[in-house]
Amino acid sequence: MISYPKKGDKEMFYDAKTETASSEQLENLQWQKMIGMLKKVYESNLFYRRKFNEHGVTPDDINDLGDIIKLPFTSKQDFQRDQDNNPVFGTNLTEAFENYVQFHQTTGTTGKPLRWLDTKESWAWRARCQAHALTAAGITNKDILLLPFNFGPYTAFWGIYEAAQHLDILTIPTGGWTTEQRIHCLIENKATLIAGTPTYMLRIAEAAQEIGVDLASSYVRALILAGEPGAMIPAVREKLEKAWGARVFEYPGLTETGTYAFMCSHNNQALHIIESEFIVEILDPQTGRGVPDGGVGELVLTNLGRTCSPAIRYRTGDLVKRVRKSCGCGRTLSQLDGGVLGRKDEMLIVRGVNIFPRAVGNIVEEFLEFGNEYQIIAYRRDGTDDLEVQVEINPSSDNMDQIIAAEIKSRLNLRIKIDSVPKGTFVRSHYKGKRFIDKRKQACNTD
Ligand SMILES: [Zn+2]
């Protein structure tokens, strides 16, 4: 049974003071945290001291929040190069090595995997950021959270586990189990929450249908999604909400930065930025200049509570749109409208039209039958980009390929080849779906 907030319901905050602060109060807080972090980092973090020195800047040159623009950007390649040159953990370590207690690494989707170390304090900070997300979804210690994944070196779901522990929520680990065992476990133990990627949540729903279990009548009332976009793609959200009879919430995060935003229960089309812990800049990817609120630009993050291995002016490559407007939840934190809109390196120019594969995928999702998958393939032929979509279409769905092609033409003004393939063509993932294959880089890929 899906429950939406009603008038008079008391909103739950993890930290009401910062979540409802005025912009002046937030900026003061950010300034205090930022200058403290910069001083400590400059003193004992080799990676950033070298970077700042090369850029000719020290914390003494930073006199207010706006001075952040005097600091150099950091890219993933900077961290990768540092770890290559200074094996194995690199030099982005502010504290003595013996203080680090957590090891994680990135998936390597966009390059060589990065190793990341945390201290007890920074690990607790990460859990607190995540706790903002769980609390904003209306989750309390009366809930029971099922974790349908293995605990590996990727951070994506560790944060949920740690936040759940921090908030005294009962958690059920099901690592190493089959999907069917997990379904029986969540029914028998009356789990009220489940966390995972949208891809795997759909896979569980499909598997439940196959064994005759109606998840919509289970106790699960919320899905906590991470790892890939889903809750803000209308067709995916509808499929998940219908199959599970539960609300879906999403939070974005990066190994390098932590969880920086979350969805509240009043607006499923935007994410609140945790501005008490992050400074967010939205920049023109080409010029590096600031983009005004409401404009699309690259998300650049500075985290304020992970001094031991910080990310300062970190260029995420994700494109977002920041808006400042009131929200029914009462939070004053600014919002990323539509969440992460795409990646700057995925943009294509197809016959003169600028296009993100995700925009095509969102349309395909509307026509995709439950349990079916698709793939978008980008090519470069004779110096120009082109796209092709392969969609699993059931034999009974006459002309579906043409219907999808017509819809894409009408909405994006682009003629794209749609190939119909049989159900089961694409590998089913328990983690992230691989829906975009970029063959443009094959000749020059250095990953
Ligand atoms: Zn809100």
Predicted structure pTM score: 0.91
User: For 44-136, where are the E strands, in sequence order?
Assistant: 100-105, 115-119
Q: Is 444 exposed, middle or buried (0-12, 13-18, 19+ CB in 10 A)?
A: exposed
Q: Ligand 1 center to residue 427 CA distance, Å?
A: 36
Query: How far from chain centre, in Å, is Cα 219?
Result: 26
Give the pair of three-digit tokens for residue 88.
């194995």
Distance (Å) of CA 219 to CA 182, 191, 231, 239, 245: 14, 6, 20, 18, 9
Residue 434: what pLDDT? 84
Dihedral sign for Cα 338, 339, 344, 350, please: negative
Residue 371: what pLDDT? 85
Q: Ligand 1 center to residue 381 CA distance, Å?
A: 45
Residue 250 has pLDDT above 60, yes or no: yes
Nearest one of 193, 219, 204, 263 to 1, comparing CA atoms: 219
Alpha-carbon distance 420 to 207, whole Å?
Answer: 23
Terminal CA-to-CA distance of the chain, rounded, Å? 45
Mean pLDDT of 434-438: 89
The pLDDT > 70 percentage for the chain reads: 98
Instruction: Return the number of other C-beta atoms located less than 10 Å from residue 240's C-beta.
Output: 22
Mean pLDDT rounded to a whole number for the chain: 93
Q: Ligand 1 center to residue 271 CA distance, Å?
A: 8
What are the tens digits of pLDDT across the range 339-393?
999 899 888 888 888 888 988 999 999 999 888 999 999 988 888 889 999 999 9
Alpha-carbon distance 301 to 312, whole Å?
Answer: 7
Query: How far from chain centre, in Å, is Cα 87?
Result: 28
Give the pair of three-digit tokens for residue 168.
């005294």
Q: Going from the N-terminus, what domains does the chain have, and what CATH number goes with each?
A: 16-124+253-344 (3.40.50.12780), 137-250 (3.40.50.280), 347-441 (3.30.300.30)
Residue 175, classed as helix, strand or coil, is coil
Q: Ligand 1 center to residue 260 CA distance, Å?
A: 15
Mean pLDDT of 14-34: 97
Mean pLDDT of 306-320: 97
Residue 444 pLDDT grade (very low, low, confident, very high; cuts 50, 70, 90):
very low
Q: Ligand 1 center to residue 248 CA distance, Å?
A: 14
Q: Ligand 1 center to residue 146 CA distance, Å?
A: 25
What are the tens digits of pLDDT across the range 50-88?
999 999 999 999 999 999 999 999 999 999 999 999 999
Cis peptide before 88 (omega within 30 of 0): yes
Q: Ligand 1 center to residue 391 CA distance, Å?
A: 35
Instruction: Return the number of other C-beta atoms located less than 10 Å from residue 258's C-beta.
Output: 26
Alpha-carbon distance 178 to 437, whole Å?
Answer: 28
Alpha-carbon distance 266 to 278, whole Å?
Answer: 22
DSSP state of 304: S
Q: Ligand 1 center to residue 13 CA distance, Å?
A: 10
Q: Ligand 1 center to residue 331 CA distance, Å?
A: 6
Alpha-carbon distance 148 to 177, whole Å?
Answer: 8
Residue 447: what pLDDT? 33
Q: By the 8 A CB rule, do 165 and 120 touch?
A: no
Least confident range of 156-165, 234-243, 423-432: 423-432
Give the pair of three-digit tokens for residue 23.
């912009």
- Residue 101's Cβ-side half-sphere holds a number of Cα atoms within 13 Å equal to 7
